[in-house]
Structure 1
Amino acid sequence: MKLKSWPFHLMLLPSLIFLLVFSYVPMAGIIMAFQNYKPWLGFTGSEWVGLDNFRYLFDRQDSMEVIWNTLFIAVFKILFNLAAPFLFAILLNEIRRNGLKRSIQTLVYLPHFLSWVILGGILLDILSTDGGFVNRMLGSAFGIEPIPFLMDGNWFRFTVILSDIWKEFGFGAIVFLAALSNVNPSLYEAAEVDGANRWKQTLHITVPALIPITVVVGTLALGNILNAGFDQIFNLYNPTVYEKGDIIDTFVYRTAIISGEMGFGTAIGLFKSVISLILILTSYRLAYKWANYRIF
Structure 2
Amino acid sequence: MTNNSVYENVTAILRDKFENSAKFNETLDNITIFYGRKLLSITKNHFTREIIEKTIEKVIREQYFEGYFRMSDIIKNSGIPAIDLLWELPKGRLRNEVRILLENVYKDIDPDWANNATISNFSLVMLKELEEGFDVVEMIKYEVAAFGAWEAVIEDSRYVYKEDADEFDSKFGNSFDLEFINFQVYMQMEYFSDTYESWNLYKLGKNDQDNIGCGMAQLSLIHNLEGKQQFVLTLNLFNLIHPEEKNGLVDSIVKSITSKLKNSELHIRILHTTEIEYFSFSNS
TM-score range, shorter chain: under 0.3
Larger relative contact order (CA 8 Å, sep ≥ 6): 1
Q: Could you state the TM-score of these two structures normalised by the residue count of structure 2?
A: 0.27
Flag the structure with larger Rg: 1
